[in-house]
Amino acid sequence: MNTYSLSILLRRLTAPPGLSGYEDSIAQEVEALWKPLVDQVSRNRLGSVIGFRSGRGAAPRPRLMLVAHQDSIGLMVSGIQEGFLRLTEIGGVDHRILPGQLVQIHGKRTLSAVVVQPPPFLLPPEAQGGSVPLPYLWADTGLEESEVRRWVRVGDPVSFARNYLELGSDLVCSPSLDNRASLCALTLCLQELCSRQPVWDVWAVSSTQEEETLGGAVTSGFQIRPDIAVVIDVTHASGPSTPSHKTYPLGRGVTLGWGPTVHPKLYETFKDLAEKLEIPYKMEPMPRYSGTDADRLQTVAEGIPTMVISIPLRYMHTPVEIVSKKDIQRAARLITEFAATIEIGFMDKLRWEETPKT
């Protein structure tokens, strides 16, 4: 069995486009990486990859579900006119970053294209002045119309050109680091767990369609019915012109979610664990929603105690997302230690203060 370094894992996990709903490329990569690390790898009906590792405790064992979404935001061809491609978005894309962006059109053949902004005099009055809305931008492949029509059809996914970069000593930059950074942490965790003996069953889920419907986590949650779910996602890192009270510095640790989405006792457990392991962390207040898979996972069936761990990321939903490798390692270590040390009777500790004695 090979163990991979963080950099290699990140390169492999950011290479496939894997747009929401069109995730075969990333799902295959995750399957390949996880197969040697767990007892069983399967795919959920909607396309989430599920890795199962049996615990050492006596059956029936409690189940821990670790979730990071595999899908990425991007674009889609919505029309073809004189060889130019009209685009719509998948997930949330700020159209202001698109002009001049290199993209890949995933048609019958993968074509490279550039997103272009037409001059104002070729735009209808409502699209003039200020940024040009997405429906009025074009993608130009440079090919003749007949060629374009041969390879491209309405509905073909369009991803940002891949461009993996290491910046300075600790930062990496790539499209799709939301949420491949977390998927990397989850994979590191599974690698590490190979030499540990967790008593709980561990269900690792690389979830589908988080950016669209949160559908992967909900359906996988219904299928697995975990006793506890831990969602690993990215949060906003501080950077130029970001509000300091809503962002977290890069490279200074993970955040632990706190609010209605998170079970307070789980928060405490993770906080204590982080302190014990001397992993830097910040509480991230989530007064209403977490904005992650956890929001819907929590209310699956009879309800699932849920925790949210986030890795700070700068320039979210752009092709130049930046994360810190150290933060990924910290997230990996935290979930690894949680999974490896959780006791068979942990659920008894997860009670609310008022829980009646039985």
Binding residues vs another protein (CB under 8 A):
20-22, 42-46, 48, 76, 78-79, 86, 88, 90, 135, 153-155, 209, 212-213, 215-216, 218-220, 222-223, 244-245, 258-261, 263-264, 283, 285, 287-289, 298-305, 351-356
* Number of other CB atoms surrounding residue 245 within 10 Å: 7
In angstroms, rounded to a whole number, what is the distance separating the alpha carbons of residues 348 and 345?
A: 6
We find the least distance from the C-beta atom of residue 172 to another protein, in angstroms, to be: 28
Least Å from the CB of residue 338 to another protein? 18
Instruction: Closer to another protein by CB, 23 or 192: give it.
Output: 23
Closest approach of Cβ 290 to another protein, in Å? 11
Residue with smaller CB distance to another protein, 86 or 162: 86
Of the pair 171, 204, the CB lying nearest another protein is at 204
Q: How far is the CB of 292 from another protein (least distance, A)?
A: 14
Which C-beta is closer to another protein: that of 90 or that of 313? 90
Rounded Cα distance between 10 and 163, Å, is 12
**CB of residue 113 vs another protein: minimum separation in angstroms?**
18
Cα 142 from Cα 139, distance rounded (Å): 9
Q: Least CB distance from residue 302 to another protein, whole Å?
A: 4
CA distance 321 to 150: 33
Minimum Å distance from CB 215 to another protein?
5
Widest CA span in the chain: 76
Q: Which amino acid is at 167?
A: L
Output 182 or 255, the one with its CB closest to another protein: 255
Tokens of 17: 């486009």
Contact 305, 229 (CB under 8 A): yes
- Residue placing its CB nearer to another protein in the complex, 192 or 293: 293
Q: Cis before residue 99, ω within 30 degrees of 0?
A: no
CB of 14 to another protein, least distance (A): 21
Q: With respect to another protein, which residue has the nearer C-beta, 3 or 42?
A: 42
Give the pairing of strands 254-258 and 306-314.
Answer: antiparallel
Q: Residues 211, 293: contact at Cβ < 8 Å?
A: no
Minimum separation from the CB atom of position 142 to another protein (A): 22
Sequence-ordered strand ranges (E) for the chain:
40-43, 49-53, 63-69, 74-81, 84-90, 102-106, 110-116, 138-140, 157-160, 165-167, 171-174, 201-207, 228-236, 254-258, 281-285, 306-314, 321-324
Q: Which residues of 78-96 are buried (b: 16+ CB within 10 A; e: fewer)?
A: bebeebbbbbebbbebebe
DSSP letter string, 135-193: GG-EEE-SS-HHHHHHH--TT-EEEEPP--EEETTTEEEETTHHHHHHHHHHHHHHHHH
Q: Which two tokens stand for residue 232?
A: 């690993």
User: Cα(152)–Cα(144) distance, rounded to whole angstroms?
Assistant: 12
